[in-house]
Structure 1
């Protein structure tokens, strides 16, 4: 069976990627990263719950806490405020410097070791808050670099099936494909119940609203 590494945060985007990869006939190697983010424990719980639901047995959770030591973002630095206005001049402080580049480099090593020919990542250009490492151009470029830096027989394709979708589109496609939205976690700040006011919660809630659907997770309000 053909294999794919799926980078899975526990959020709705990467969960839909895993759901689609399964429907496309891939055996999945689920890859999760702990980088001392504010909601690290809750995200890992979501990751494991989702893998259980989707019957993904091959899973790998890696400690990449050096990312927090680099700092420069509100997801790992609790002295910084997580944005709640949706307004930002340029890239918001929730951008973790080059995170997707780091994740994809590690995913490439996992893929090469396991003879996987695809890597799925849930990047979204429209609703990515302006993160530079969510652009399709960047993903295509790093794919070329990965294939230059691996064995000739490796030939990895990075798949980004959501890159041109809106959050409302992602909700709709998730519902159409029975992706387990109720197990996903998007909140940047809270691990008990989603705060509902951080930029990630706001994007998610707005996506459900535009899709004329109700978010199945609980919020504080």
Structure 2
């Protein structure tokens, strides 16, 4: 059976990615990362998602991050969602470069054909490592910088959500039977999702667009004025 490494955070997008890889017939090898993120609850969510898919192995990699982000530095407050066109303080320097590098090494050792990553360039916070340009550049690194790549057996970096809105992502997850009830998206990491940070707001927007009720609990539903369709109470 063909094998795939899946970057699994425990969030909406990575879980949808997992469902896409599963439906495509890959044997799943999820990787999750403890990088000092304040929303540690996502690691338990990742574990639950991995168990749902009955994977052979789910690896948790602990890395020391340099900080510089509201997600890794307790002195920087997680802001509410805004649309000011700036890269927000929740950007974690080089995060996807680090994650993909680990996944690439792991994938090359265990003979993976693909690495799945749940990035989107449509409904996202403006992070530079969620753009098509980044994905293309990293694929070039794979092709020229690995034994698999130079031997003509390169590992494909797959981002099936890259051009999907959050609403389209949620529709895809629903079609695939993805366990979204196990996921968490909140940057603040409370027992209930805050409903107002970037990640919560985009998630709520997506469920509203998809016309599907979000299965997780929120402290509040955020600013509904940014949603194209009303949320159900």
TM-score by length of 1: 0.95
Q: Is the 8 Å Cα contact of residues 51 and 57 (structure 1) preserved in structure 2?
A: no
1:54-93 residue pairs with structure 2 within 5 A?
54-64=53-63, 66-67=64-65, 70-93=66-89
Give the drift of 1:87: 3.1
Write the distance in 1 (CA, Å) between the matches of 2:204 and 2:34.
25
Q: Which residue of 2 aligns with 1:3?
A: 3
Write the distance in 2 (CA, Å) between the matches of 1:31 and 1:217.
23
Q: Which residue of 1 aligns with 2:195?
A: 196
Q: Which residue of 1 aligns with 2:14?
A: 14
Q: Which residue of 1 aligns with 2:93?
A: 97
| 1:115 to 2:108 alignment | no
Give the drift of 1:89: 4.5
Q: Which residue of 2 aligns with 1:128?
A: 124
Give the drift of 1:94: 0.6
Give the drift of 1:88: 3.3
Residue 72 of structure 2: SS of its match in structure 1?
coil
Pairwise CA RMSD of aligned residues? 1.1
Write the distance in 2 (CA, Å) between the matches of 1:17 and 1:102.
19
The equivalent position to 2:146 in structure 1, one of 135, 143, 150, is 150
* Aligned pairs, number: 217
Q: Is the 8 Å Cα contact of residues 124 and 202 (structure 2) preserved in structure 1?
A: no
Residue 44 of structure 1: SS of its match in structure 2?
helix
What runs of 5+ residues in structure 1 fail to find an aligned partner?
A: none
Residue 215 of structure 2: SS of its match in structure 1?
coil
CA distances 1:155-210 after superposition (whole Å, capped 9, x unpaired): 11000000000001111111111111110110000231111111110110111111
Write the distance in 1 (CA, Å) between the matches of 2:60 and 2:43.
8
Q: Which moved more, 1:147-156 or 1:53-62?
A: 147-156
Residue 28 of structure 1: SS of its match in structure 2?
strand
Q: Is the 8 Å Cα contact of residues 85 and 126 (structure 2) preserved in structure 1?
A: no
CA distances 1:12-39 after superposition (whole Å, capped 9, x unpaired): 1111111110111101110000011011
Q: Which residue of 2 aligns with 1:182?
A: 181
Residue 36 of structure 1: SS of its match in structure 2?
coil
